[in-house]
Chain A
Amino acid sequence: MNSGSPVSFDNVSKRFRTPKGTWYQALAGLEFEIKAGEFVSLVGPTGCGKSTALTLLAGLEQPSIGAVNVDGREVDKIETSTGFVFQHDATFPWMSVYNNIAAGPKFRGVKNYDQLVRTWISKVGLTGFESNYPHQLSGGMKKRVALAQALINEPSLLLMDEPFSALDVQTRSIMTDELVSIWETTGSTVVFVTHDLEEAIALSDRVLVLTAGPAKVKADFTINLPRPRKARDIRFTEEFLEIYQDIWSVLRDEVDIAYQRQLVAPGKGK
């Protein structure tokens, strides 16, 4: 059991060079704080800068202006106490399911990892597939490999970029519950990106709504639903629907803005 890392974004801006040589501003003065052990979801229209915020948190990129702090220190390199479940498949195609999940412990020189790896394989429901290579798995199974690969290292900060987007509805709700119970035992801080509001509400302590790019925090909702929650059950409660309406009414405007932009300048955003 480890404790989570507090996180803060201090007036963070990030711009990228576009292929045309101009600059694209992905984040503009993004500012928020996350307490140690909090589960926070980021929601916002597509292309608004959610993945970018996570890559800054992981130290894979540096902010152009401002500072990203984890554990009270400015992030200036990749921290191995951070776990990252990428939006796009990042499992190693030349490693079997077993070796993919064992990669972290092996890289870190952990001895006797076999039991640990097998436990995680069964937790994500991949028993019997240990020796399959990623190309022999379904999209959802690959996501689960990525999940176990990150979680096995017990990160104090866990970044998840739409980890369940490739899963079918049933598996998704099972994994959501599984994630909550894992998170409750580890106490790590989680930053969770999703397009699924129900998922965000069911999982989170707080939901941050970001503006259409460049991303700023538009609204900050605290979810006071009692824990332990079962995602399958709470989505039909009165409180849940109320929060859903509140968040959606804020998010909808931003989604509209993003959509209008796409109509005006087709293909320019991507």
Chain B
Amino acid sequence: MVEEFLSEAAIKKNRNKHRVKVHSLQLGLAVLLLGGWQILADHKILDPFFYGRPSGVMHQLGVWITNGTSIGSLWVNAWVTFYEATYGFLAGVILGIIFGVFLARNPTAAEIFAPYIKVSNSIPRVVLGSIFVLWLGLGSVSKVALAFVLVFFPVFFNAFQGTREADHKLIANARLLGASKRQITIKVIFPSALSWITASMHVSFGFALIGAIVGEFLGAQRGLGLLIATAQGNFNPNGVYAAMLIIAIMALSAEWLITKLENRLLNWRPTQISGTEL
């Protein structure tokens, strides 16, 4: 018996059908949650003074966009937080990879640094934020520094582990084919550690945002963290939610970009087995 393959159009139709179903259920859930919240708040079951309400959040956003916030233009504040997080993220990723790969390739160096790394990793890093504000002032540098330390360690550990796990057989093969130590690091170790590294990058941008925002909480002149702190001070829950919404959009866009980058860098990997039953 010869089974007909589904035509391209039929496959697309099936997939679209599935997508419409998922998206409409997602939307329904959102309407249910937000609508429920709105109704409960309108009937004072949830006190809107403490809990805010969706219409209030939208109104707050509208005011911020048209009139600016109490600490200046919304866009400027969002931009400040975004670049603090991004700088911290990039510095943490780059240095994390360099240190991770270097130490994994140099066991003696790894042995020497091990206790220092363990100690600095065991310090609750958010506490460092206060120190950075004292050292580096209220400007952006202290936030970048906090975002950096939050990103550095996960990337470092993953790069280290990824390098350690690199297949010895492949390294042996590369050496027999004539690769120098440097070529092995670049052409064999790095690519095989890359899936570990990109995995850590997914969580790391979130950490970078936390670093920037916590840093702004602790003392800043601008940024979404300060905006949240101000709203909290004014008993304005809608302001807190509105700022959170902007942060969420930022995190999702970054996640989207990182996924794109990952797919590009790791296009040699077999596509994941997919199917509803998995």
Which of A's residues lie within 8 Å of B, judged by CB? 58, 60, 78-80, 82-84, 86, 88, 90, 92-96, 103-104, 107-108, 133, 135, 149-150, 153
Contacts and interface: CB of A to CB of B under 8 A. Distances in A.
Interface residues of B, number: 20
B180 to A, nearest CB: 7
A83 B177 CA distance: 7
A97 to B, nearest CB: 11
Interface hub of B179, B180, B192 (most chain A Cβ within 10 A): B179
Contact of B183 (A96, A107, A135): A107
A257 B268 CA distance: 44
Given A93-B268, A94-B268, A133-B268, A153 B177 contact: yes
A90 B178 contact: no
A78 B269 contact: no
B203 interface: no
A19 to B, nearest CB: 16
A103 B176 contact: no
A84 B268 contact: no
Given A80-B177, A90-B170, A92-B173, 10 more contacts: A78-B176, A84-B173, A92-B187, A103-B177, A103-B187, A104-B178, A108-B178, A135-B269, A149-B173, A149-B177
Nearest to A78: B175
B174 interface: yes
Nearest to B168: A60
A26 B274 CA distance: 43
B169 interface: yes
Contacts of B191: 92, 94
Contacts of B233: none
Interface in B221-278: 268-270
Contacts of B91: none
Contacts of B188: 92
Contacts of A82: 176
Contacts of B192: 94
B180 A90 contact: no
Nearest to B179: A107
B178 A107 contact: yes
Which of B176, B180, B188, B270 has the largest number of chain A CB atoms within 10 A? B176
